[in-house]
Amino acid sequence: MDPKPWRERIAEEDQLLEQLNRLISESAARRAEALLEGVADLGTIADVARDRGTSWNAVSKAIKKYQRKKAPDTDATTTE
């Protein structure tokens, strides 16, 4: 049995990396939504961080990154 050609192996790994990156992005968004629910429940980012045993900076960064991705593009042109 001959091994797959290197180009084919690279293409398969590229597809796998794309899939994994998409899954990571989706997971990060769901986590940020849960963190936001935690802020609504506990009151502050610091309270959520204490509850989770992590830094408030990590919680804040995750939420901000999610909000930036979710925000509408303000530079988009309109057809009006």
What would the pLDDT profile of 21-64 be if each residue is shown by its tens digit? 999 999 999 999 999 999 999 999 999 999 999 999 999 999 99
Alpha-carbon gap, residue 17 to 12, rounded angstroms: 9
Residue 15 lies in a domain: yes
10: alpha, beta or left? (left if phi > 0; alpha if psi -120 to 50): alpha
Alpha-carbon gap, residue 13 to 9, rounded angstroms: 6
pLDDT digits (tens, 9 = 90+) for 4-21: 999 999 999 999 999 999
Residue 18 lies in a domain: yes
Residue 66 lies in a domain: yes
Residue 34 lies in a domain: yes
At 71, list the tokens.
Answer: 């925000």
Closest CA to 10 of 23, 24, 2, 18: 18
Residue in the block written with tokens 């804040």 = 60
Residue 31 lies in a domain: yes
**How many domains are there within the chain?**
1
Residue 75 lies in a domain: no
Range of the domain at 53: 6-70
Residue 58 lies in a domain: yes
Residue 79 lies in a domain: no
Entry pTM: 0.77
